[in-house]
A = this chain, B = another copy of it.
Amino acid sequence: MNYYNVVFQPGDVSLEVAEGSTLKEAMNDVGLEFDFLCGGRGTCGKCRVKISKGLTTPVIREQEMLQVKEVDEGIRLACLTTVHNDLIVELPNQKKLAHNILIASEERAFQIAPQLHKVFIEVDKPSRETQSSDWRRLKEGLVKQGYKDHELESTVSILRQMPDVLRGANNLITAVMYESTVAGIEAQDSTKTMLGMAFDIGTTTIVGYLLDLYSGKELSVVSTLNPQTTFGADVISRLTFANHEENGLIKLQSAVVEAINKLIVEAAQKASILRNQIYGISIAGNTCMHHIFLGINPQSIAVSPYVPALSEPLVLDASELNISINQAGKVFMLPNIAGFVGADTVAVLLATELDRSEDIKLVIDIGTNGEIALGSKEKMVACSAAAGPAFEGAQISSGMRGAVGAIDHVYYRDKLEYSVIGGEKPLGVCGSALLDTVAGLVELGILNKRGKFLEFEQLTNPVAQRFKENLIQYEGQGAFLLAEADSTGHGRPIMITQSDIRELQMAKGAMAAGVRVLMETYGIQAQDINEVLLAGAFGNYLTPHSACVIGLIPLELESKIKMIGNAAGTGSKLALLSSGEFRRARDIANVVKFVELGSYPRFNSIFGECTYFNIK
């Protein structure tokens, strides 16, 4: 078997690869994580990489999925490209290594200085005369490294391990330190690696990133459905469950802790490390997820004045929370801002550096509860808008989440076209396609400003004529057909009904009203905003133009929109990798001014106006 050298850029990660392996396999081998949306089955066309040296002919499937121009530029799909010679492969810059973290398609540098660090020490041998205890001699070793004797602390579990580790390692040990606390001891010199995991606990999805805390390198990424969804799809139903079901809080907490522990096992297996080597995790999530994870009853969030029980950042023992990392490991909890503006928003602001920005930026994390922040280093305001689950496909007649089988984008060309996640027959429509569909209907004049389907005879735009077939009546209301029954995966038509449009109007109206109120509070107009950053899964998939046409985002900001991916996850990573960033999270939570929409003057009329569409 022949082996060839493959170098991944940026980061100069190189390895020898057996002939015929795919680039995906090579990336797995070297621990480079990459989102293969269709699981690497060559159906989604999203795993684009650029071959800058050693270009080979694309396979037929690649030719189908890539534009000719892209093929000429050396773009290939990582799951379909096999290795037959030495290669240099450029990855999209989301995979930058070392201490650069992708955010808003830009890297931002920060000082890697993890909260946890390791110190190798040679402990003095025990002496019959001095009777200096194991712990005393260990402390003396740390004092030689600059620690202050009277500040040094430890825990019972460490003290229990200490005698065996010291004697087993002939007094050569590595201490894992959190500030002046010995959080772990390992035999011999293990200072080369220091592992941690950053988590983003979403209401729907939990994502975990296994990181080398010294290099900043991401060793694996894992995610899972938040198992709490069994008990309720959104924050409000979780709050209700926690407060009214017997042992509701405990059930919710156990579910999320179990999910996180499974992710830890999975991430460790993928990276071929032991979970015992993981000494810290960071947690970002909304206030409700935050409280439930800690086992704190979130009842105060559910009732007026909706305050959190806890907003400050916290460092806790992993064992206290039953997190299965090293038994001496730590859990770093990012702070909350308010009952409905949580640690996930703080993480997004940490990642987007709103607090350091010269320009005024608008940051939107769209979800069931949309969080919106506006500001610059001068000041920041934030609010939460109860959008409801329409953006996630719930409450929509043909709606579904953005999973395999979902129509994710809709194009009004000569005829109606759409793309389906996974490429198979469609099963439903997800939020981004809902936006595309409705935006098209608005632009074609098929919907009026108030969101009502016009009669076909009333349509004035000639292009609208092309979609006559799609305009149907369904159960006594107007509807727009996306896919006939026989072209779908389940034999039922997929459509957007008048009711669905009302749902979307409520959802986008809530978000838009939030943006409007923040601008008023801040004292600016839309044109004063220099950048709109869209965070979260939905924000990353929507078509900016559609979002502006329906009025989710002010129309004049369309060209200023940037997708910034899972910024909450990025913020969680930053807090884990750098004690300075963790401190900054506290500062951000302290300075962001929370704006309570419910008590804002004229909120109802603002909201009413915002449910309208932007008809030019």
Contact = CB atoms under 8 A, between A and B. Distances in A.
A133 interface: yes
A156 B307 contact: no
Contact of A309 (B134, B307, B321): B134
Given A134-B310, A164-B297, A126 B305 contact: yes
A299 interface: yes
Interface stretch (A19-27, A336-344, A348-356, A462-470): A336-344
Given A164-B297, A294-B159, A131 B320 contact: no
Interface string A135-168: 1100000000000000000011001101110010
Contact of A131 (B129, B132, B299, B337): B337
Contacts of A160: 294-297
Contacts of A312: 133, 135-136
Given A128-B596, A159-B310, A294-B156, A134 B300 contact: yes
A539 interface: no
Given A156-B320, A294-B159, A311 B136 contact: yes
A59 interface: no
Contact of A305 (B127, B159, B337): B127
Given A156-B316, A294-B160, A599 B128 contact: yes
A127 B296 CA distance: 19
A306 interface: yes
A39 B159 CA distance: 42
A285 interface: no
A594 interface: yes
Contacts of A155: 320
A286 to B, nearest CB: 14
Contacts of A167: 300
A2 interface: no
B321 A131 contact: no
A167 B305 CA distance: 13
A304 interface: yes
B159 A307 contact: no
A316 B135 CA distance: 16
A338 B133 CA distance: 8
A216 interface: no
Given A129-B599, A131-B306, A136-B312, A159 B337 contact: no
B304 A128 contact: yes
Most buried by B among A127, A130, A321: A130
A128 B599 CA distance: 9
A79 B438 CA distance: 93
Contacts of A337: 131
Contacts of A156: 294-296, 316, 320-321
A428 interface: no
Contacts of A596: 128-129, 131
A135 B589 CA distance: 14
A308 interface: yes
Interface string A226-242: 00000000000000000
A126 B599 CA distance: 15
A299 B163 contact: yes
A133 B308 contact: yes
Contacts of A309: 133-135, 159, 162-163
Contacts of A308: 131, 133-134
Contacts of A129: 594, 596, 599
Interface in A49-79: none
Interface of A: 126-136, 155-156, 159-160, 162-164, 167, 294-297, 299-300, 304-312, 316, 320-321, 336-339, 341, 594, 596, 598-599
